[in-house]
Structure 1
């Protein structure tokens, strides 16, 4: 990349995030919405209990798989609530938020709060930055041209077709999240003080869940129930997070950007309605969420026109598409990411900044 693309931008709107934040704050959109979250937690917990009541009443029936799918969606909602608490959206007290996230994520979703917070906070600091953002790090899926270029043989063939395989692979994401959580809790080098407690929460949640299935269902049905629930859980979370940044510009390592552009230029919103808002945990308002991580989820929709108008005034592209279109963009990007291994001096993001 040309050296000038690494220089600090000098456009007059570099420091306008303060103006935007003031406008949002004056609109009352950063105030806590405890009533909203009390309702969300209450409804989600009630649905969780209802599924298990239905489970007990149905017994040995393949209709249990319908409950398994519903349970997958409900567990993902606990994951979203844990995500909100981890971002301090629920309470003014950091301690109350941390414990809420720890219980919601660990006891109900089977995820480690500390592991998730460490990974997710790093993503928020520098979304889509190569060699930094853990969400685009090398793994089964190659998210950057650099990673694709390092692969050969079957791995390269897979990378060239990974767009079509991405959503089927999300059926395994739930298992991946559980395994990563347990490994983090078992890591003696981890520094978070509640590692052992989180291990107890996550292990008890997962162990008790499997035990109930094995005890009360025939082996085949128990395995099918677990598979369906895990698949729906993984797809639900993955389908909410994937449209946010995949297919948006990548930030070269070490590139210096002001906060407003660092967050907006690499984020994508998805047109929302109440159903989409619930199913995606509010993450369809990704631009607003990245600009104001502690903003309560229910206020993101109201912040959208303010943020969009501000971006229009200062000339920053604000990307928003429909739900289906967002998934097609993700598939196309992943299928063609290897073709984007272009001249390193031809950087789309730098071109935008120089425009």
Structure 2
């Protein structure tokens, strides 16, 4: 897919976004980086295959638990590559991106590429909008006091304490994505449901078959639990710091494309190691403004975007990883306040 965000109305000639877009294009930051992605894909493939090789070599041993954590990192890195494929960062060809995305998402990590791409497209179009962004729709967690006041069921029970439960709940995110992927197969709107279903089933059979072939049932179940828990937390550390705790928009908020993307996003500082761990998503502001920009170019785009936002008086949020989590957790705690008051 060439770009998961729709062509912004604000990109009209002379708009604020158009001015920034011209600067980015002149700097050559929208050009593809085939060499970078060839190396990155090779390293991730080596990590993924190497981890499974270590798993097979160790055999029946409790030392498999650290391997489960390492495998979670490998799964996370593959998921980040699937993300870049969905945005057309690796290839301009939609067909090539889709085939590679199905292999990386469905077959390798058990995540429906088509379902996730549709969900992520809607997120990019309206980030942190309580009516349109599926990532802040009320489910188990609540993201605005309006959602808290209207909550029912599990969300209302968890809501008062959701900040304290956030990280424990992240351990279930890997499993939640697999369940959501299989549930999405029932949707007639999902393109290539048969192919997606076959690849998801092949992943589950190969994944469980490999683990239970090497480990006895008790160790196998513990391995699966550690792997899925670490995978969920890793995904949470990759995606959640970028928007959680930033302003939640409503129907009353009328912002142009540039401000809608910048004011709801947060960058995470941390240098090259953070770039690798988060797959470039630590430059979330730049990524939301230019979704098809190769992740290797986001670092270079940052000073251009930051300076441009300063010239317009648009707030540019950036902090360290721990502080980003602090802001997210404080926001979750504040959202749950009306529910705590009801219980008094």
**Hey, what does 1:353 align to over in structure 2?**
none
Offset at 1:269? 0.6
What do residues 194-253 of structure 1 show as CA deviations (whole Å, max 9, x unaligned)? 221111111111221111111221111100110111011111111111111111111112
Offset at 1:133? 0.5
How large is the Cα RMSD of the aligned pairs? 1.9
**Hey, what does 1:352 align to over in structure 2?**
none
**Hey, what does 1:132 align to over in structure 2?**
132
- Write the distance in 2 (CA, Å) between the matches of 1:107 and 1:153: 34
Specify the SS of the correspondent of 1:161: helix
Offset at 1:338? 3.5
Specify the SS of the correspondent of 1:148: helix
Q: Which runs of 5+ in 2 are unaligned?
A: 1-9, 340-344
- Write the distance in 2 (CA, Å) between the matches of 1:144 and 1:163: 13
**Hey, what does 1:348 align to over in structure 2?**
none
1:302 and 2:300 are equivalent in the alignment: yes
Correspondence list, 1:336-347, <5 A: 336-339=334-337
- Write the distance in 2 (CA, Å) between the matches of 1:155 and 1:199: 30
Offset at 1:164? 1.5
What do residues 100-149 of structure 1 show as CA deviations (whole Å, max 9, x unaligned)? 21211112111111100110000000001111110001111111111111
What do residues 36-67 of structure 1 show as CA deviations (whole Å, max 9, x unaligned)? 11111111111111111111111111000111
Offset at 1:93? 1.8
Distance 1:240 1:214, change over 3 A: same
What do residues 250-278 of structure 1 show as CA deviations (whole Å, max 9, x unaligned)? 11126332100010011111113111111
**Number of aligned residues:** 328
* Contact map agreement 2:269 2:320 (CA 8 A) in 1: yes
* Contact map agreement 1:162 1:335 (CA 8 A) in 2: yes
Q: TM-score, normalised by structure 1?
A: 0.89
**Hey, what does 2:3 align to over in structure 1?**
none
- Write the distance in 2 (CA, Å) between the matches of 1:154 and 1:40: 41
What do residues 256-304 of structure 1 show as CA deviations (whole Å, max 9, x unaligned)? 3210001001111111311111111211110000000000011101100
* Contact map agreement 1:90 1:296 (CA 8 A) in 2: yes
**Hey, what does 1:331 align to over in structure 2?**
329
* Contact map agreement 1:236 1:279 (CA 8 A) in 2: no
Offset at 1:188? 4.8
**Hey, what does 1:190 align to over in structure 2?**
189
* Contact map agreement 2:69 2:227 (CA 8 A) in 1: yes
Distance 1:188 1:162, change over 3 A: closer
**Hey, what does 2:232 align to over in structure 1?**
234
- Write the distance in 2 (CA, Å) between the matches of 1:15 and 1:216: 59
- Write the distance in 2 (CA, Å) between the matches of 1:213 and 1:154: 33
**Hey, what does 1:4 align to over in structure 2?**
none
Question: After alignment, is 32-41 or 301-310 more displaced?
Answer: 32-41
Correspondence list, 1:285-296, <5 A: 285-296=283-294
- Write the distance in 2 (CA, Å) between the matches of 1:87 and 1:113: 12
Offset at 1:153? 8.8
Question: After alignment, is 42-51 or 94-103 more displaced?
Answer: 94-103
- Write the distance in 1 (CA, Å) between the matches of 2:314 and 2:290: 17
Moved over 3 A (4+): 151-157, 338-341
* Contact map agreement 2:140 2:158 (CA 8 A) in 1: no
Correspondence list, 1:204-223, <5 A: 204-223=202-221
* Contact map agreement 1:15 1:258 (CA 8 A) in 2: no
- Write the distance in 1 (CA, Å) between the matches of 2:153 and 2:75: 38
